[in-house]
């Protein structure tokens, strides 16, 4: 069995029917469908060859191509389900991204990281520049985003493979404990972005791309504090000029959770790997 996958034993897979409608069926792959789906959900980025070798060790005698086709079908369906969750009004979700930027200052270039959080249903987003790529600053940005939105989404999607910075901060699957602890404090679920999720294709309206294309070109950085204030003012003006998809109405319909009275203790938090059995 490939090392580090942390995959379940066949007897640990629940016997009830999965939301995807997976049931043990006939054929060479039929008895292994529930286990295969469980593996795809738990390790969305694992190699198909690893899944095939695990099934083979557990009695599967079919072809590799059959496993490959079924895994692609599972991933597409999981992506569609995640998209419906991301666009939900009753249970609004968000997505977080981190991008590295080099900004022009008066006498030198300054390296910074751009944190963005976008709400799926309304498209409202928050952005903030931070100097380093530390866990404390990353979690503080979450707190600032919730204050900006006036509430907490039901869940947040993270893609560890979106950038080296994001990979360092959230880790793999499962995520680093400080990120999970922050979610527990505010009451939102931390979720990996599925492999076949529609928004993984790089939409032009993703917050980071909007800012890189329309705000940062020609902007001279004086300080990160002033840049963040200017960026928020620019985004507010952009939102007033852009009535596409009735974003204001959608924002009113989003039922965000209530902010806790006490913020999360993000200071001193560091990235570290979760121990796996």
Give the pLDDT confidence of 83-119 residue by residue, as tens digits. Answer: 888 888 888 899 999 888 888 877 788 889 999 999 8
Tokens 């940062």, located at residue? 216
* 61-86: average pLDDT: 88
Minimum mean pLDDT range among 29-33, 41-45, 220-224: 41-45
Mean pLDDT confidence for 22-38 = 79
How many CA atoms lie less than 13 Å away from 216 in the CB half-sphere? 22
Q: Which residue has the higher pLDDT, 203 or 79?
A: 79
Q: Mention every residue, 6+ apart, whose C-beta is less than 8 A from residue 135.
A: 169, 176, 178, 179, 266, 269, 270, 271
What's the pLDDT score for residue 116? 93
Exposed e or buried b per residue across 3-39, where buried means at least 16 C-beta atoms within 10 angstroms of its C-beta? eebebeeeeebeeeeeebebeeeeeebebbbbbbbbb
Instruction: Return the CATH class of domain 91-253.
Output: alpha beta
Tell me the C-alpha distance between 96 and 175, whole Å. 14
In this model, does residue 10 exceed pLDDT 60?
Answer: no
In the predicted model, what is the mean pLDDT of the chain?
A: 79
Instruction: Please check the confidence at residue 182 and state whether its pLDDT lies above 80.
Output: yes
pTM for this one?
Answer: 0.75
Q: What residue segments make up the domains of the chain, in order of their start? A: 10-85, 91-253
Residues 151, 260: Cα–Cα separation, whole Å: 9
| pLDDT score of 70 | 92
Mean local confidence (pLDDT), 206-212:
83
The mean pLDDT of 62-66, rounded to a whole number, is: 93
Helices and strands in the chain: count of H runs, count of E runs: 9, 5
Least confident of 77-86, 92-101, 147-156: 77-86
- Look at residue 218 in the predicted model and tell me its pLDDT: 84
Predicted confidence at residue 52, as pLDDT, reads 93
Residue 237 has what pLDDT? 82
- pLDDT at position 164 over 70: yes
23: left (phi over 0), alpha (psi -120 to 50) or beta: beta
């Amino acid at each position: 069995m490939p090392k580090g996958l942390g995959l379940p034993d066949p007897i640990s897979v629940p016997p009830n029917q999965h939301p995807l409608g997976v049931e043990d069926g006939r054929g060479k792959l039929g008895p292994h469908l529930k286990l295969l789906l469980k593996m795809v959900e738990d390790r969305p980025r694992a190699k198909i060859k690893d899944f095939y070798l695990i099934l083979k060790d557990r009695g599967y005698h079919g072809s590799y191509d059959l496993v490959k086709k079924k895994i692609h079908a599972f991933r597409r369906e999981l992506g569609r389900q995640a998209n419906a969750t991301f666009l939900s009004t009753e249970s609004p979700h968000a997505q977080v991204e981190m991008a590295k930027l080099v900004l022009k200052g008066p006498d030198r270039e300054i390296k910074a990281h751009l944190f963005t959080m976008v709400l799926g249903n309304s498209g409202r987003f928050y952005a903030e520049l931070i100097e380093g790529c530390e866990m404390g600053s990353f979690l503080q940005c979450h707190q600032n985003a919730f204050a900006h939105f006036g509430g907490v989404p039901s869940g947040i999607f993270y893609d560890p493979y979106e950038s080296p910075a994001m990979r360092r901060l959230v880790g793999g699957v499962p995520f680093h404990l400080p990120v999970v602890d922050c979610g527990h404090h505010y009451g939102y679920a931390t979720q990996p972005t599925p492999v076949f999720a529609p928004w993984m294709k790089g939409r032009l309206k993703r917050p980071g791309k909007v800012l890189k294309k329309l705000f940062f070109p020609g902007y001279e950085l004086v300080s990160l504090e002033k840049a963040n204030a200017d960026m928020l003012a620019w985004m507010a003006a952009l939102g007033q000029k852009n009535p596409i998809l009735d974003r204001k109405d959608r924002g009113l319909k989003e039922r965000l959770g209530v902010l806790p009275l006490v913020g999360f203790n993000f200071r001193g938090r560091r990235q570290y790997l979760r121990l796996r059995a």
